[in-house]
Amino acid sequence: MTTIKDVAKKAGVSVATVSRFLNDSGYVSAEAAKAVTAAVEELKYELNPVARSLNTKKSNLIGLILPDITNPFFPELARAVEDVALTYGYTVVLCNSDENPEKEKNYIETLKKKYIAGFIVTSNQLDAPHYANANVPIVALDRTINEKIPTVSSNNKEGAIMGTNALLERGCRNILFLRGPEELNPANDRYEGFMEAIQSSNLQYQVVTCPFHFADSQEIVARVLKEDPTIDGIFASSDVSAAGALKAASLVGKRVPEELQIVGFDGVAMGEMLSPGLTTVAQDVYKMGAIAARVLIKQIENKKIDQRFYEVPVKLIIRGTTRSVEE
């Protein structure tokens, strides 16, 4: 295996000169640079990335911290981050935090020791000190951490207004809203949007806090539907919760969309696979991940970023869990 000493000997320069050239860490004359380049090509020398990170205190690694990789929304985000990162020569390290701040902190401290270039984080830890004091570039994805850290998110409030109106326009008169966890900014924004739309309608509604998990959503919705059989519309704060609601409707004998209409929020591929297909407020998940990756890489490479907050528009996708608009 060719070593840096072999390259130095072939080029007729010192090992230190080869190291400075390969790591771009100091002055190297044009003549020496030309000789080292020729030696590297002739000997087919490949720089060890671990050794390089030890020398430069830098790497081409990006840490992606996600709260729950079993939720299909987050793997779709990860795909976009990875695609963009690879085009710029970066490798993504995926970390699943399970919404646990101690796991997040451990990931950050461990990866910093590997000279991580930066982090993209989806966290519910608002203004967490382990992010504020990380001393590496960070981008918040989907959920704001603090105003100093750039954030990429969807227009959640407007999307919730859109989803609520979709049910109202289709004749729903008693709507159940499955709001997400109160500690999550996107869930709170969607709740605000729902309340703004429903209160202007003067129709009956219920709000139930529901985690973004299929089984929990199914259990909660089944109970509420049994308690109030007059519910004819459900707006869920996530597609996973909407899928749980669809299963619950089947268990209690409610026909969808004839007796009960359901709208989700996310727009993940899973919604199209359900039967009937899920009507949803679709986020541009891929675009969110791609923007986050580009913003982080700009910071890593000391380039100016245009803004601190990036809001991606949403759109309503009509499928089989809702009826046609009433004339």
* Residue extents of the structural domains in the chain: 4-47, 61-154+286-312, 156-283
H/E element, 144: none
Contact 178, 234 (CB under 8 A): yes
What is the average pLDDT value for the chain, to the nearest integer? 89
Contact 204, 168 (CB under 8 A): no
Phi then psi for residue 118, to 5 deg, are 180, 175
Tens-digit pLDDT profile for residues 155-171 = 999 999 999 999 999 99
Residue 91: predicted pLDDT: 93
How is domain 4-47 classified at the architecture level of CATH? Orthogonal Bundle (1.10)
Q: What is the fold, at CATH topology level, of the domain defined by 61-154+286-312?
A: Rossmann fold (3.40.50)
Start-to-end CA span in the chain (Å): 76
Tens-digit pLDDT profile for residues 10-32 = 889 988 888 878 766 678 888 88
d(CA 214, CA 212): 7
Residue (of 168, 233, 159) closest to 198 by Cα position? 168
Going by pLDDT thresholds of 50, 70 and 90, the confidence category of residue 183 is confident
Tens-digit pLDDT profile for residues 39-77 = 888 888 876 554 544 444 467 899 999 998 888 999 999
156-169 vs 185-199: helix axis angle to the nearest 10? Answer: 40
For the entire predicted model, the pTM comes to: 0.80
Same-fold call for 4-47 versus 156-283: no
Residue 56: predicted pLDDT: 45
H/E element, 266: strand 261-266
Tens-digit pLDDT profile for residues 139-151 = 999 888 888 889 9
149's CB contacts (< 8 A; 6+ apart) are 131, 138, 139, 140
d(CA 26, CA 214): 55
How is domain 156-283 classified at the architecture level of CATH? 3-Layer(aba) Sandwich (3.40)
d(CA 200, CA 71): 33
User: Counting beta carbons within 10 angstroms of the beta carbon of residue 277, is it exposed (0 to 12), middle (13 to 18) or buried (19 or more)?
Assistant: middle
Alpha carbon 307 to chain centroid distance? 19
Tens-digit pLDDT profile for residues 206-235 = 999 999 999 999 999 999 999 999 999 999
The phi-psi region of residue 145 (left if phi > 0; otherwise alpha if psi is between -120 and 50; otherwise beta) is alpha
Residue 286: predicted pLDDT: 93
